[in-house]
């Protein structure tokens, strides 16, 4: 009888429990790396599980911070509306900042803490809060605008008009920023510095860029007065 076509006998002989397959180089290699491979899988599983746990904890922390921020904002809003003390609101915002660092609620609490401190005429504390807020929102353009605008008012209240100008300039660059409002603030502080030339220049920017702006009549009058004073000084 002819042999069936297929694998030669020597290729299939001894593929049993006691065959030499289990002592072959290929099997030895697999066996040698089996334990490290299993350990690697375990470590990877633990790592992924750790990330999931951290994400869960982070989400929980964010949720708690948001709730606390909302509570503080309610107290803040009621105090502002009813012209009451902001001490309680400030304390609540500060507790969110200290208890929930790294969360959005803590970041926004820095800004509102600054608002409270400004209203309470604690300008240096407000400047610290706004600067800390800026560190947290780097590259968040619209939030940066709010912070620099607030810093400008703090410096102006301290009669530090040079730093006020520098802060307000950051609210119009890059354009449009706060636009007309930003130009008004810069022009006003230049005027307070006695720099009528730069003050008039920024008022003229409003006429040029916002000819139908809400303050156009006031601005035109300011330009007339400043230029008139400038001629008298010369």
Determine contact, residues 180/206, Cβ cutoff 8 Å: yes
Domain 141-234 has CATH 3.40.640.10: no
pLDDT in tens, 19-49: 444 445 544 554 555 555 565 566 666 655 6
Among candidate residues 83, 160, 92, 72, the one with its CA nearest the CA of residue 124:
160
Say what the pLDDT of residue 15 is.
Answer: 43
The residue ranges of the chain whose pLDDT is under 70 are: 1-57, 231-234
- Tens digit of each residue's pLDDT (9 = 90 or more) over 155-191: 999 999 999 999 999 999 999 999 999 999 999 999 9
Measured distance CA(79)–CA(71) in Å, rounded: 13
Which tokens sit at 163? Answer: 């730093």
The verdict on pTM exceeding 0.85 is: no
Q: What is the pLDDT of residue 38?
A: 64
* Residue among 84, 147, 78, 151 nearest 111 (CA): 147
Phi and psi torsions of 171, nearest 5°: -90, -5
């Amino acid at each position: 009888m002819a042999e069936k076509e297929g694998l030669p006998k020597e290729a299939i002989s001894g593929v049993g429990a006691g065959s030499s397959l289990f002592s072959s180089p290929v099997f030895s290699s697999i066996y040698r790396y089996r334990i490290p491979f299993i350990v690697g899988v375990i470590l990877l599983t633990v790592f992924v599980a750790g990330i999931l746990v951290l994400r869960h904890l982070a989400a929980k922390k964010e949720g708690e911070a948001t709730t606390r921020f909302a509570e503080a904002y309610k107290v803040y809003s009621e105090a502002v509306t009813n012209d009451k003390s902001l001490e309680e609101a400030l304390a609540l915002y500060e507790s969110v900042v200290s208890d929930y660092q790294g969360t959005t609620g803590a970041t926004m609490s820095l800004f509102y803490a600054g608002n409270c401190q400004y209203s309470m005429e604690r300008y240096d504390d407000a400047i610290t809060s706004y600067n800390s807020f800026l560190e947290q929102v780097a590259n968040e353009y619209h939030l940066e605008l709010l912070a620099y605008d607030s810093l400008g008012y703090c410096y102006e209240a301290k009669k530090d008009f040079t730093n006020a100008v520098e802060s307000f300039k950051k609210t119009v660059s890059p354009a449009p920023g706060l636009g007309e409002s930003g130009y008004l603030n810069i022009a006003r502080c230049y005027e307070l510095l006695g720099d009528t030339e730069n003050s008039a220049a920024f008022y003229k920017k409003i006429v040029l860029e916002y000819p139908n702006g809400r303050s156009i009549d006031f601005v035109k009058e300011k330009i007339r007065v400043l230029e008139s004073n400038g001629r008298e000084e010369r």
